[in-house]
Structure 1
Amino acid sequence: MKVSVDISLYPLTEDFLTVVDDFIQRLKKEPDLTIKVNDLSTQVFGDYATVLSKVNAAMQATHEKTPKAAFIMKILNGDLLDQHSGQYA
């Protein structure tokens, strides 16, 4: 089954941009994931189990490196990327 995940990260630290960029770069290293980034969030698309496993690992790494960080996620069963011809609406 395919999944679409929308993630917003709120690091509670002065160097928040570094933390966000590190999280995004960690996800982009995963060849089985499709990543779309905009000013408000990061979208991850792919196989359900793979996406949730890789996102979980990236979140854990962020939490281990950052004293306080909040993640907000929306998970949709289905691939919005395919439904919008490569554009996430």
Structure 2
Amino acid sequence: MKISVDLTLSPLQDDYEIHVINFIKSLRDSKFIVLENPLSTQIFGEYHELMPFLTGLIHKSFEEQKICVLTMKVVKTDRSDYEPDF
């Protein structure tokens, strides 16, 4: 089943920027479709492949930070080709 995941990583420490950059670069280096905007990053793929990848990446990111918030929304469909019609 295809899913779309919206991610916002918010490190709560002074050197937050490098952690966000590293997280996004890891998403970009994956085999999945990744779209970015100023507020969040979306990643798209098969549920059984994407979720284990994200679990590992989130765990690694959390280990490298003191305090961090990750907001994640999961939609059961591939929205990577979404174009507004208004």
TM-score where L is the length of structure 1: 0.88
For structure 1, the residue ranges without an aligned partner over 5 or more in a row are none
Quote the Cα distance in structure 2 between the aligned partners of 1:81 and 1:36: 8
Segments ≥4 residues shifted beyond 6 Å: none
In the alignment, the residues of structure 2 paired with residue 57 and residue 74 of structure 1 have an alpha-carbon distance, to the nearest angstrom, of 17
Distance 1:39 1:16 in 2: 15
List aligned pairs for 1:7-86, cutoff 5 A. Answer: 7-31=7-31, 33-82=32-81, 84=82
For residues 12 and 76 of structure 2, the distance between their equivalents in structure 1, rounded to whole angstroms, comes to 30
Three-state SS of the structure 2 residue aligned to 1:81 is coil
Identity %: 31
Structure that is richer in helix per residue: 1
- How many positions carry a matched residue from both structures? 84
Within 2, Cα distance between the matches of 1:55 and 1:10? Answer: 16
Runs of at least 5 residues in structure 2 that lack an aligned partner in the other structure: none
Question: Higher RCO, 1 or 2 (CA under 8 Å, sep at least 6)?
Answer: 2
Q: Give the alignment's TM-score, normalised by structure 2.
A: 0.90
